[in-house]
Homo-oligomer: A and B are copies of this chain.
Amino acid sequence: MRASQFFIATQKEAPTDAELISHKLMVRAGLIKKLGNGLYSWMPLGLRVLRKVENIIRDEMNKAGALELLMPAVQPKELWDETGRWAVFGPQMLKIKDRHERDYCFGPTHEEVITDIVRREINSYRQLPLNFYQIQTKFRDEIRPRFGVMRAREFMMKDAYSFHTNFESLQKTYAQMYQTYSNIFTRLGLKFRAVKADSGAIGGDGSQEFHVLTDSGEDALAYCENSDYAANVELAEALPPTSTRAPSSNAMREVETPKQTVCEDVAKLLGISIEHTVKAIALIAKDEFYLALLRGDHNLNEVKVGKLAGLSEFRFATEEEIRANLNCPPGFIGPVGLSKSVTVIADRAVTQMSDFVCGANKPKYHLSNVNFGRDLPEPSLVADIRNVVEGDASPDGKGKLSLCRGIEVGHIFQLRTKYAKAMNATFLDESGQSQVMEMGCYGIGVSRIVGAAIEQGSDEKGIIFPLSMAPFEVVICSIGMDKSELVKNTANQLYEDFKKASIDVLLDDRGERPGVMFAESDLMGIPHRIVLGERGLAEGKVEYKARSASAAQNLLVIDIINFIKSAMND
A residues with a Cβ closer than 8 A to B are: 5-7, 9, 33, 35-37, 39-44, 46-47, 50, 65, 67-76, 91-92, 94, 96, 98-99, 102, 104, 106, 113, 116-117, 120-121, 130, 132, 137, 139, 141, 143, 153-154
Q: Are A68 and B41 in contact (CB under 8 A)?
A: no
Of the candidates B6, B33, B71, the one whose C-beta lies within 8 Å of that of A41 is B71
Q: Is there an interface contact between B65 and A5, defined as CB atoms closer than 8 Å?
A: yes
A73 closest partner in B (C-beta) = B137
CB-defined contacts of A132 to chain B, threshold 8 Å: 7, 44
B7 touching A67 by the CB < 8 A rule? yes
Checking B35, B98, B113, B120 against A75 with a beta-carbon cut-off of 8 angstroms, the contacting residue is: B35
Determine whether the beta carbon of B113 is less than 8 Å from that of A35: yes
Evaluate contact between A116 and B70: CB separation under 8 angstroms: no
The smallest C-beta distance from A470 to any residue of chain B, in angstroms, reads 17
| Chain B residue nearest to A156 in the complex (CB) | B70
Contact between chains at A43 and B69 (CB < 8 Å) = yes
Complex CA distance for A164 and B448, rounded to whole angstroms:
34
What is the CB-to-nearest-CB distance from A35 to chain B, in angstroms, rounded to a whole number? 5
Which of B46, B96, B117, B121 contacts A106, CB < 8 Å? Answer: B96
12 A–B pairs (Cβ distance < 8 Å), ordered by A: A35-B72, A35-B76, A41-B69, A42-B71, A44-B132, A46-B69, A74-B139, A74-B153, A74-B154, A91-B99, A92-B99, A96-B106
Assuming A33-B121, A92-B99, what are 4 further A-B pairs, CB within 8 angstroms?
A73-B73, A73-B137, A74-B139, A94-B96
Taking CB atoms, residues of chain B closer than 8 Å to A154 are 72-74
A98-B94, A130-B7 known; A44+B69 contact, CB < 8 A: yes
* A-B pairs, 5 with minimum CB distance: A42-B70, A91-B99, A36-B76, A44-B67, A39-B72
Specify which of B47, B74, B92 is in contact with A39 (CB 8 Å cutoff).
B74
Do the beta carbons of B76 and A117 come within 8 Å of each other? no
- Contact partner of A44 (CB less than 8 A), chosen from B68, B75, B106, is B68
Q: How long is the Cα–Cα vector from A426 to B562 in the complex, in angstroms?
A: 46
> Which one of B65, B72, B116 contacts A40 once the chains associate, using CB atoms below 8 Å?
B72
- The interface residues of chain B lying within 8 Å CB-to-CB of A139 are 73-74
Number of copies: 2
Q: Looking across the interface, which residue of chain B has its beta carbon closest to that of A7? A: B67
Return chain B residues, CB-CB under 8 Å to A36.
72, 74-76, 104
Task: Determine chain A's interface SS by DSSP, over half rule.
Answer: mixed
| Smallest CB separation, A133 vs chain B (Å) | 10
Q: How far is the CB of A423 from chain B (nearest CB, A)?
A: 14
Distance (whole angstroms) from the CB of A255 to the closest CB of chain B: 52
Which residues of chain B are within 8 angstroms of A35 by Cβ–Cβ distance? 71-72, 75-76, 113, 116-117
Q: How far is the CA of A99 from the CA of B106 in the complex (A)?
A: 13
Chain B: minimal CB distance from A450 (Å): 12
Q: How far is the CA of A458 from the CA of B116 in the complex (A)?
A: 30
Contact flag A117-B41 (CB < 8 Å), given A74-B106, A141-B98, A153-B74: yes
A106 proximity list for chain B (CB < 8 A): 73-74, 96, 106
Q: How far is the CB of A499 from chain B (nearest CB, A)?
A: 13
Give CA–CA (A277, B117) in the complex, Å.
59
Find out whether the CB atom of A39 lies under 8 angstroms from the CB atom of B76.
yes
A277 to B31 Cα, complex, angstroms: 68
Across-interface contacts of A75 in B (CB, < 8 A): 35-36, 39
A206 to B324, CA, bound (A): 82
Which residues of chain B are near A120, meaning CB under 8 Å? Answer: 33
Residues of chain B within 8 A (CB-CB) of A143 are 99
A5 to chain B minimum Cβ distance, whole angstroms, is 6
CA distance A92 to B130 in the complex (A): 37
| Smallest beta-carbon distance A26→chain B, Å | 14
Query: Is the Cβ of A141 less than 8 Å from the Cβ of B9?
Result: no
Give which listed residue, B42, B98, B121, contacts A69 with CB less than 8 A. Answer: B42
Structural contact, A47 and B74, CB atoms closer than 8 A:
no
Nearest neighbor of A75 in chain B, beta-carbon distance = B35
The answer for the CA separation of A104 and B70 in the assembled complex, in Å, is 24
Given A74-B154, A76-B35, A117-B41 in contact, is the A99-B141 Cβ separation under 8 Å?
yes
Residues in B with CB closer than 8 Å to A46 are 69
What residues of chain B lie closer than 8 Å to A72, measured between beta carbons? 35-36, 39-41, 154
Return chain B residues, CB-CB under 8 Å to A92.
Answer: 99
CA distance A404 to B6 in the complex (A): 42
Shortest Cβ gap from A92 to chain B (Å) = 8
| Residues of chain B lying within 8 A (CB to CB) of residue A153 | 74, 98
Q: Which residue of B lies closest to A70 (CB)?
A: B42
**Assuming A35-B75, A41-B117, A117-B33, is B99 touching A70 (CB within 8 A)?**
no
